[in-house]
């Protein structure tokens, strides 16, 4: 008898070279484990086949039918494949967008099972992007169906060269030769959870004996994924706990005390609480790893600055890492202003107990860099603000005690780790984000960090009012918007106009995150060719010569020289520019309280959270902010639904949830977790909240009892594998 296979066995051995190579090409699979983790999307029960003539709109149905006609057409840049199938009782229309390759397998005369949600379009029954399983050519239909294992047919994600039924066949062969796999969990824990064993779960999910059993199997396998991830995070937390760090205590008469006296306002209750949490963390002898989340304008910078001063108080240095140069410069200005004389040690006006704040960015000239680097090395600079340049320009700190990473959503774990290596002893780490993160996402992505949240905005803030302008339906609203800008300026206020592009005909979307670009592409729908996206370089002169004639209008975008950007921002901050026409370079950090209005062109091009962040730029002063979201999307489109959601609430948590629901799981987890992601086949961070909580509880308990998982070798191996993959995915990205 041939030896039984394990998850690591190469597919070649089980299926032969040809099939294995085809699976590698189609899905990137190499091993038995890869194939068995290619889970079915749904099951078709034989007894549940419906007659097409009896299908009702909205029903989830599966039909057995023959392909009667196939038609491929192109419309506004997309391909639409229309397939008509019939079961003798009636016809059913199937549509596939942008999947022209399906035309090759969906040939007239072939029979298959087609499953999906029934829709009605022009009085015709239709399935949009149905799952399907074609009956192999030449086979007798009944025989082919009953030839598949069991009562249920598994429907797999398929590829052009590898249809679902072929996957089924391969899975069957592989399952036949599979040995009993080692369990992750002890018998005791598993029976408490009520889950089947690992091998049984794998068999049930591919070849269910009943739908209830397959549902439970799916849950058990999803739980495993959640557990592995939580164990990885728990191990990392345990490692932080075991790292040494220098305790940074606030001196009662030191910089922090002086700073608090200087502040022109009193801290909010939330700020006081978060400051206390940070103070406690940093006085410990292992490194702080804390995430501070709070809306734009909630006062995170002040909290971070106080933490930085605490470190300077104890003789150390703090590094502020910003995602862009503009933001780094903005930080320098804000922080210098908040510190006043405390930031000018060594000058005549400076306070004797003070420190120096220096900037280090990629675009500084050699002399400027040398100066900054020497102050960083000598310790004269207590606070260092910078971009990635801080990581790459060989900055050598005298005593780096705290790393503050601003706007985590643009910063990977890699950069966090790279900066950590700049210190002799691991520094404390504070990560700040303005995108509120739902609890389970926080537990998954930032599960190795403690979390602080600023929920209230400092008082004196006025809420922002947001309206959507559907330009297709109501073009005159746009004229009214320009008029409204004039009125704001006449009242002495300033206005932002945001556009998605720098120049005409350009495909790059300036300053957008990968996730937002993905959404923009998703929302494209071919509309682009008809209505080009607004660009800063076109819009600024159009406005200046047209509807905003007489006002001072200036462009700002990421391709301008940093001198020009700086000068423009400066002029806007001083009120010398009325209207700033900009890309999303203004998204974070720009703080001009006199700005009272924002118009966002092609608002449908931006993610929900990004829109929320953008509008956070206005209403920072005492006047009510106004934000207009301009879009040429259809009134009934998804894009409009998102824009209306943004207009209807200012609750960042709710918006962030809407945002995440629209993203793929990969986008939710972000590129920082791409190694881990390939392991998460079933887990959906938002949907599986209870499962993740359970996994976190059990994972934490396991690590507490047995930190190296020596009593669960299978689990230890799987977690180690996950770790390696995560590590190598960082290396891959260079």
The binding site for ligand ADP (CB under 6 A) comprises 265, 267-268, 271, 294, 296-302, 458, 591
Kindly tell me which of 134 and 296 has the beta carbon lying closer to ligand ADP: 296
- Near Mg ion in 265-304, by CB under 5 A: 301
Selection from Mg ion, ligand ADP, none that 458 binds (CB < 5 to 8 A by kind) is: ligand ADP
Looking at the chain, how many residues does it have?
A: 734
Name the DSSP letter for residue 177: T
DSSP 54: G
Binding partner of residue 302 among Mg ion, ligand ADP, none, CB cut-off 5 to 8 Å per kind: ligand ADP
φ, ψ at 477 (rounded to 5°) = -60, -30
Is the distance from CB of 332 to CB of 324 less than 8 angstroms?
no
For residue 290, which phi and psi values (nearest 5 degrees)?
-125, 140
CA separation for the pair 197, 554 (Å, rounded)? 65
Give 14 or 406: the residue with its C-beta nearer to Mg ion: 406
Q: State how far the Cα of 577 lies from the Cα of 210, in Å rounded to an integer.
A: 69
Q: Toward ligand ADP, which CB reaches closer, 277 or 591?
A: 591
Report what 31 binds from Mg ion, ligand ADP, none; CB cut-off 5-8 Å by kind: none
3-state DSSP assignment of residue 405: strand
CB of 298 to Mg ion, least distance (A): 9
In contact, 217 and 43? CB cutoff 8 Å:
no
Given a contact cutoff of 8 angstroms between Cβ atoms, the answer to whether 256 and 439 are in contact is no
Q: How far is the CB of 513 from ligand ADP (least distance, A)?
A: 18
Least distance between ligand ADP and beta carbon 566 (Å): 19
Binding at 270: pick from ligand ADP, Mg ion, none (beta carbon under 5-8 Å per type) = none
Q: Which is nearer to ligand ADP, 297 or 555 (CB)?
A: 297
Q: CB of 457: closest distance to Mg ion in angstroms? A: 13
> What DSSP string describes 413-462?
HHHHHHHHTTSSSPPEEEEEESS---HHHHHHHSTTSEEEEE-SPPTT--
Residue 594 beta carbon to ligand ADP: minimum distance, rounded to whole angstroms: 12
We find the least distance from the C-beta atom of residue 297 to Mg ion, in angstroms, to be 8
Select the binding partner of residue 265 from ligand ADP, Mg ion, none (C-beta < 5 to 8 A, by kind): ligand ADP
With CB cut-offs between 5 and 8 Å by kind, which of Mg ion, ligand ADP, none does residue 299 bind?
A: ligand ADP
Q: How far is the CB of 303 from Mg ion (least distance, A)?
A: 10
CB of 266 to ligand ADP, least distance (A): 6
For residue 498, report the phi and psi dihedrals to the nearest 5 degrees: -110, 135
The tokens for 514 are 């990968």
Q: Which of 105, 103, 108 is nearest to 86 (CA)?
A: 108
Task: For the CB of residue 292, give the shortest distance to ligand ADP in the complex, in Å.
Answer: 9
Round to whole Å and give the CA distance between 399 and 518: 41
CA distance linking residue 448 with residue 397, whole number of Å: 26
d(CA 539, CA 535) in angstroms, rounded, equals: 6
The least CB distance from residue 432 to Mg ion, in Å, is: 7
User: 267 contacts which partner out of Mg ion, ligand ADP, none, CB within 5 to 8 A by kind?
Assistant: ligand ADP
Look at residue 617 and give the partner it binds from ligand ADP, Mg ion, none, a contact being a CB closer than 5 to 8 Å depending on partner kind. Answer: none
In degrees and rounded to multiples of 5, residue 359 shows phi and psi of -110, 140
User: Of 587 and 667, which CB lies nearer to ligand ADP in the complex structure?
Assistant: 587
Q: Which is nearer to ligand ADP, 298 or 408 (CB)?
A: 298
Binding site partner of 591, from Mg ion, ligand ADP, none, Cβ cut-off 5-8 A by kind: ligand ADP
Considering CB distances under 5 to 8 angstroms, the limit depending on partner class, which of Mg ion, ligand ADP, none binds residue 408?
none
Complex with Mg ion: residue 135 or 585, whichever CB lies closer? 585
Closest by CA to 285, choosing from 245, 330, 257, 345, is 245
H-state helical runs in 78-163: 102-105, 141-147
- Per the structure block, which two tokens stand in for 117? 């949600």
Q: Nearest residue by C-beta to Mg ion?
A: 301
Separation in Å, CA 437 to CA 327, 359, 450, 651, 655: 22, 30, 13, 12, 10
- Judge residue 90's burial from the number of C-beta atoms within 10 Å of its C-beta, 0-12 exposed, 13-18 middle, 19 or more buried: middle
Give 102 or 331: the residue with its C-beta nearer to ligand ADP.
Answer: 331
> Quick one: 296 or 402, whose CB is closer to ligand ADP?
296
Please state the closest distance from residue 612 (CB atom) to ligand ADP, in A: 12
Of the pair 262, 522, the CB lying nearest ligand ADP is at 262
Closest to ligand ADP by CB, 456 or 674: 456
Residue with tokens 């689990």, as numbered in its chain: 715
Q: Which does 45 bind (CB under 5 to 8 A by kind): ligand ADP, Mg ion, none?
A: none
Binding site for Mg ion (CB under 5 A): 301
């Amino acid at each position: 008898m041939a030896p039984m296979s394990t998850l690591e066995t190469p597919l070649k051995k089980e299926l032969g070279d040809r099939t294995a190579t085809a699976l590698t090409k189609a899905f990137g699979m190499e091993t038995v484990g890869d194939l068995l983790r290619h889970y079915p999307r749904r099951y078709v029960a034989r007894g549940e086949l419906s007659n097409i003539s009896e299908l009702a709109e909205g029903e989830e149905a599966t039909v057995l039918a023959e392909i009667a006609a196939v038609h491929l057409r192109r419309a506004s840049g997309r391909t639409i494949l229309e397939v008509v199938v019939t079961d003798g009782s009636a016809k059913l229309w199937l549509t596939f967008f942008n999947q022209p390759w399906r035309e090759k397998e969906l040939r007239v005369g072939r029979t298959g099972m087609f499953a999906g949600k029934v829709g009605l379009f022009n009085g015709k029954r239709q399935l949009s992007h149905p799952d399907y399983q074609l009956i192999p050519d030449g086979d007798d239909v009944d025989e082919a169906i009953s030839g598949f294992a069991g009562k249920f047919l598994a429907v797999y994600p398929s590829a052009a060269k590898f249809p679902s039924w072929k996957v089924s066949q391969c899975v069957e062969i592989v399952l036949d030769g599979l040995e009993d796999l080692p369990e992750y969990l002890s018998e005791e824990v598993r029976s408490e959870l009520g889950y089947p064993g690992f091998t049984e779960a794998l068999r049930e999910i591919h070849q269910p004996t009943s739908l209830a059993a397959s549902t439970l199997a799916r849950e058990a396998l999803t739980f495993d994924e959640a557990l592995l991830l939580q164990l990885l995070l728990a191990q990392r937390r345990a490692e932080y706990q075991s790292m040494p760090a220098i305790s940074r205590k606030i001196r009662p008469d030191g910089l922090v005390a002086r700073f608090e006296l200087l502040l022109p306002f009193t801290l909010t209750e939330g700020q006081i609480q978060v400051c206390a949490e940070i103070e406690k963390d940093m006085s410990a002898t292992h490194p702080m790893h804390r995430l501070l989340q709070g809306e734009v304008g909630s006062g995170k910078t002040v909290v971070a600055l106080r933490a930085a001063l605490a470190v300077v108080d104890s003789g150390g240095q703090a590094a502020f890492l910003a995602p862009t140069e503009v933001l780094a410069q903005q930080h320098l200005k804000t922080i210098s202003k908040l510190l006043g004389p405390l930031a000018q040690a060594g000058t005549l006006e400076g306070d004797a107990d003070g420190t120096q704040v220096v900037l280090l960015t990629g675009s500084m000239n050699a002399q400027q860099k040398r100066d900054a680097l020497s102050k960083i090395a000598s310790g004269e600079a207590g606070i260092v603000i910078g971009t990635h340049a801080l990581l790459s320009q060989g900055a050598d700190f005298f005593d780096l005690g705290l790393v503050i990473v601003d706007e985590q959503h643009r910063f990977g774990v890699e950069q966090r780790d790279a900066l950590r290596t700049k210190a002799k002893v691991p520094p404390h780490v504070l990560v700040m984000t303005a995108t509120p993160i739902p609890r389970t996402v926080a537990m998954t992505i930032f599960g190795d960090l403690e979390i602080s949240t600023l929920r209230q905005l400092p008082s004196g803030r006025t809420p922002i009012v947001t309206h959507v302008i559907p330009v297709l339906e109501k073009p005159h609203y746009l004229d009214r918007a320009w008029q409204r800008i004039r009125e704001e300026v006449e009242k002495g206020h300033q206005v932002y106009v945001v556009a998605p592009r720098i120049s005409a005909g350009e495909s790059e979307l300036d300053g957008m995150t990968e996730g937002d670009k993905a959404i923009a592409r998703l929302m494209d729908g071919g509309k682009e060719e008809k209505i080009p996206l607004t660009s800063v370089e076109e819009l600024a002169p159009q406005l200046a010569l047209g509807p905003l004639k007489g006002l001072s209008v200036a462009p700002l975008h990421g391709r301008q020289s940093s001198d020009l950007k700086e000068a423009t921002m400066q002029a806007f901050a001083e009120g010398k520019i009325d209207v700033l026409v900009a890309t999303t370079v203004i998204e974070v950090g720009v703080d001009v309280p006199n700005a009272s209005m924002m118009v966002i062109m092609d608002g449908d091009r931006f993610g929900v959270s990004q829109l929320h962040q953008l509008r956070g730029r206005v209403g920072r002063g005492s006047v009510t902010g106004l934000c207009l979201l301009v879009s040429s999307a259809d009134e009934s489109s998804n894009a409009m639904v998102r824009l209306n959601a943004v207009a209807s609430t200012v609750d960042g948590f709710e918006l962030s949830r809407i945002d995440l629901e629209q993203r793929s799981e990969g986008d939710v987890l972000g590129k920082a977790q791409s190694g881990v992601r390939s392991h998460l086949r079933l887990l959906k961070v938002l949907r599986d909240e209870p499962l993740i909580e359970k996994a976190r509880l059990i994972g934490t308990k396991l690590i507490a009892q047995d930190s190296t998982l020596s009593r669960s070798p299978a689990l230890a191996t799987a977690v180690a594998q996950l770790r390696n993959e995560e590590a190598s995915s960082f290396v891959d990205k260079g």
